[in-house]
Amino acid sequence: MFPAQKDKRTLWVVLPDSTIRHEVVTFLNDRAARGLSPRTVDFYQEKLNLFLTFLEREGIRAVEEVTPDHLRHFLLHEAEKRSPGGVHSLYRSVRAFLRWWEMETEPQGWRNPIEKVAAPRVSEEVLEPVSLETVRAMLSTCRRRTFCGDRDFAVLLALLDSGLRASELLALNLGDLDLRSGAIVVRTSKSRKPRIVFIGHRTLREVVRYLRNRPGAQSTEPLWVTRGGAKLRYSGLVSLLRRRAKAVGVPVPLPHAFRRGFALSMLRGGADVVTLQRLLGHADLSVLKRYLKQAEADLAEAHARACPVDRL
């Protein structure tokens, strides 16, 4: 399976090698036609390719041949090399596909095998944010009044201050940022619903300093670019973080760790969960509950240090 065209309206084509592979491609086209983001469609494609590979090794070529036992063996096989969260994402993708196929074809006498397979359990582990000490150390490596130094300094602050996903940050154009108020219009989000986020005065000042290295830049141009003027990509952002972290010998944070740092800092600073949910662009509070657990741990630690009875 491979994409015929890789753009905002990806269409998927398939070689005629199995019925189930054809059905998966039809499912992907349906997801794209419903307006799901290309990244979400790619997510389904990646997970279902693993499922197809497993089924083809088992000699399964049609959806009707899939049994609950096949699904369990697939999940057990993947659990040997993936985290519980990774296995759960495979389960969700297969479930979405099988339920779609059931509604699409309405097979007579067929029972959906996914209904007999429980979702893998995922522990609600604490989500570690980037530490402020790590960010300070990385900022110290940015040589000021140079293009890369000013840009990287501004990128690090913007990641932490806005709570944006990496893809959202990199999709910004100059015109999406209000240089007076620090408001940012997020037009490309996971939910495909625009929202407004903000950066503070210090971050805004550093973004303006970075933009002085780009005189004449237009509002329709990308906000973040390489030294050669090309749009900064995800691989470039990760390379930036790796380079700055290794320069001072701190653990290399992934872009999402900055988003976690933003969320936890906002909670510790007194932000209410509804406001934070809207700023982060979450559809519900399920992920925020994991951040709340960590904020509650702060309270427990403070109580343990100063509780009056233990000090009697």
Domain borders along the chain are 2-116, 132-305
CA distance from start to end of the chain:
69
> What is the CB neighbour count within 10 angstroms for residue 144?
9
In the predicted model, is pLDDT for residue 18 greater than 70? Answer: no
Query: Which residues does 92 contact at the CB level (< 8 Å), separation at least 6?
Result: 119
Mean pLDDT across 246-261 = 94
pLDDT digits (tens, 9 = 90+) for 70-126: 999 999 999 998 888 889 999 999 999 999 999 999 888 899 999 999 999 876 555
pLDDT band at 44 (very low <50, low <70, confident <90, very high): very high
On the question of pLDDT at 295 being above 70, the answer is: no
pLDDT of 6 > 50? The answer is: no
Q: How confident is the model at residue 277 (pLDDT cuts 50, 70, 90)?
A: confident
Residue 281 amino acid letter: G
Q: What pTM did the predictor assign?
A: 0.66
Axis-axis angle for helices 132-139, 234-248 (nearest 10): 90
Question: In which band, very low, low, confident or very high, does the pLDDT at 263 lie, cut at 50, 70 and 90?
Answer: confident
- Long-range Cβ pairs for the range 119-122 (8 Å, 24+): 119/88, 119/91, 119/92, 119/95, 120/75, 120/79, 120/84, 120/87, 120/88, 120/91, 121/84, 122/84, 122/85, 122/88
pLDDT attached to residue 194: 86
Say what the pLDDT of residue 310 is: 64
Please tell me the predicted confidence (pLDDT) of residue 205: 97
Residue 39 has pLDDT above 80, yes or no: no
Bigger pLDDT: 106 or 152?
152
Which range is least confidently modeled, 30-39, 54-63, 87-96, 136-145? 30-39
What's the pLDDT at 186?
94
- Examine the pLDDT at 286 and tell me if it is beyond 80: no
Q: Which of 59, 61, 219, 243 is nearest to 152 (CA)?
A: 243
Average pLDDT score over residue span 145-161 = 97
- pLDDT of amino acid 193: 77
CATH class of the domain whose range is 2-116: mainly alpha
pLDDT at 152: 98
Given a contact cutoff of 8 angstroms between Cβ atoms, the answer to whether 14 and 25 are in contact is yes
- Averaged pLDDT for residues 281-285: 75
- The DSSP letter of residue 14 is -
Query: Which of these, 144, 173, 157, lies nearest to 232 by C-alpha position?
Result: 173
pLDDT in tens, 164-214: 999 999 999 999 999 999 999 998 766 667 899 999 999 999 999 999 999
Structural class in CATH, domain 132-305:
mainly alpha
CA–CA gap between residue 288 and residue 263 (Å, rounded): 8
Give the pLDDT score at 190. 65
| Confidence class for position 312, pLDDT limits 50, 70, 90 | low
Answer yes or no: are the C-beta atoms of 152 and 241 closer than 8 Å.
Answer: no
pLDDT for residue 253: 94
The pLDDT value recorded for residue 217 is 95
Mean pLDDT across the chain, nearest whole number?
A: 87
If one counts every other C-beta atom within 10 angstroms of the C-beta of residue 210, the result is: 22
pLDDT value for 3:
46
Distance CA 215, CA 262 (A): 31
pLDDT the model gives residue 267: 81
Question: What's the CA gap between 43 and 90, in Å, rounded?
Answer: 10
CB neighbours of 55 closer than 8 A, spacing ≥ 6?
20, 61, 66, 70, 74
- pLDDT given at position 305: 63
